[in-house]
Amino acid sequence: MRRLPQVKTLVIKIGSNILTNNSTIIDNNYINNLAKVIGELKSQIENILIVSSGAVAAGIQVLGLQEKPKEISKRQACAAVGQPKLIQIYENAFEHCGLKVAQILITKDDFSNRRRYLNAKYTIRELFSNNVIPIVNENDTVVVEELKFVDSFGDNDNLSALMAGLIGAELLLILSDVDGFFTADPSKDKSATLISEIKYFDSKLLGMAGDSITSVGTGGMKSKILAAKKALNAGCYVGIINGKDPENIKRFLNGDEIGTYFSHLEDPLKKRKLWIAYAAIPKGEIVVDEGAKKAIVNDKKSLLPSGIVNVNGRFNVGDVVRIVDQKGKELGRGKVRYSNIEIEKIMGKKTAEIINILGYKFSDEVVHRDDFVLSDFLEG
């Protein structure tokens, strides 16, 4: 039996391939069974949030299409038609279990904007206090990137990790169409074996995980591994299980050794740094000299104006920017305490000169160490 942490807040991620049984038709019976399981879990887990794909698949069904459209505009139309249909199916299923659901559609811009990020957090907190289960999906009707299989959130695996960090979940449970994480693709390699527990990330893990795109979904095992890494960095344990049978959710939470459990949290990022590292879109970049590079990377120091040699892009106080060396290599990302116009005036100068140059001083640091994340956390 596994020893899981006490779970007060749980995030469950469900992909289109699970909701449709790898077809283009939403499986209503599956959602009914899922609602029943979650209804039973509510007696022991206070807060449950679902990150659900399926809007495009539901739209395909509503519009009577035979396959997933290739054109982005048609996929967006499917999402627009399918999202209300999908939430209606969820609503009906959970109503039979005496539970209410809420629809939350979100884009990466909502995470990039600190105010909207916090508003989303407070909204979900209020929903939890009213015993409501939030159903979260990326807003495919206005977001092009996921529909092109390019990084917006990338896919709902990544979104689920960000949501877990946003709400401070203890466990993220990713429902897959396979039994967990294997040493190789089990559909191609009969010698592949299931890895029951993962304690440390290394380069071999990504090598074992392959990309896959189904007729209705966008994610593969690699996206799940990257999502697991992000969730762990937010202080959230992760499980990847076969979600075709919703009862597996209860089995995993009861400690049965099914699926793959990411069991070790080492130096998790602070919640504010999670936002900087994974959610915020950089507005520009600051180029630093070798002395500043050593100070922020090796000596764990803040970035001062004296070490800055150039500024690219336009940004304001509080925006996130890339910090790069003079060869263009990204060292990390940080939240700036001065705008690009102000930095252009004070770069290369000592901190004592800031007030004389600008007529005011917000801070000695352009990027404080507490608002900086090294590129190690940004790489897959």
Give CA angle at 91 (56, 223), nearest 5°: 40
HSE-CB at 141 with a 13 A cutoff on CA atoms is 12
Tell me, what amino acid is at 184? A
Tell me, what amino acid is at 289? D
Does domain 282-377 fall under CATH 2.60.260.20? My reply is no
- pTM, to two decimals: 0.81
Predicted pLDDT of residue 363: 92
Predicted pLDDT of residue 94: 98
Predicted pLDDT of residue 88: 96
Give CA angle at 211 (208, 217), nearest 5°: 140
Give CA angle at 51 (46, 54), nearest 5°: 140
Domain ranges of the chain: 9-273, 282-377
9-273 fold: Carbamate kinase (3.40.1160)
Annotated binding site for ATP: 13, 176-177, 218-224
Predicted pLDDT of residue 266: 63
User: CA 53 to CA 143: how far, in whole Å?
Assistant: 14
User: CA 53 to CA 33: how far, in whole Å?
Assistant: 17
User: CA 259 to CA 240: how far, in whole Å?
Assistant: 6
Choose among 299, 296, 298, 316: nearest CA to 307. 296
Predicted pLDDT of residue 148: 44
Q: With the C-alpha atoms ordered 70, 110, 373, 273, is the resulting torsion angle positive or negative?
A: negative
Residue 111 in 3-state DSSP? helix
Q: Give Cβ neighbours of residue 229 (< 8 Å, ≥ 6 apart).
A: 201, 380
Predicted pLDDT of residue 288: 98
Tell me, what amino acid is at 164? A
Predicted pLDDT of residue 364: 95
Predicted pLDDT of residue 190: 86
DSSP H helices, 140-281, are: 156-167, 203-208, 221-233, 247-253, 271-274
Q: Two tokens at 192?
A: 């592949």
Annotated binding site for substrate: 53, 140, 156
* 325 secondary structure, DSSP code: -
Nearest-10 Cα torsion for 108, 111, 114, 120: 120
pLDDT tens, residue order, the chain (380 aa): 888 889 999 999 998 889 987 777 899 999 999 999 999 999 999 999 999 999 988 999 899 888 888 888 888 899 899 999 999 999 999 999 999 999 999 987 788 777 888 889 999 999 999 999 999 998 866 655 544 443 345 578 999 999 999 999 999 999 998 899 988 888 788 888 999 999 877 777 777 776 544 444 445 788 898 899 889 888 899 999 999 999 999 999 999 999 999 987 666 566 667 777 778 889 999 999 999 999 999 999 999 999 999 999 999 998 999 999 999 999 999 999 999 999 999 999 999 999 999 999 999 999 999 899 998 765 54
Cα 45 from chain centre: 22
User: CA 301 to CA 293: how far, in whole Å?
Assistant: 10
Annotated binding site: 13, 53, 140, 156, 176-177, 218-224
Cβ atoms of 62 and 24 within 8 Å: the answer is no
Alpha carbon separation from 320 to 113, 114, 353, 365, 370 (Å, rounded): 10, 10, 24, 14, 13
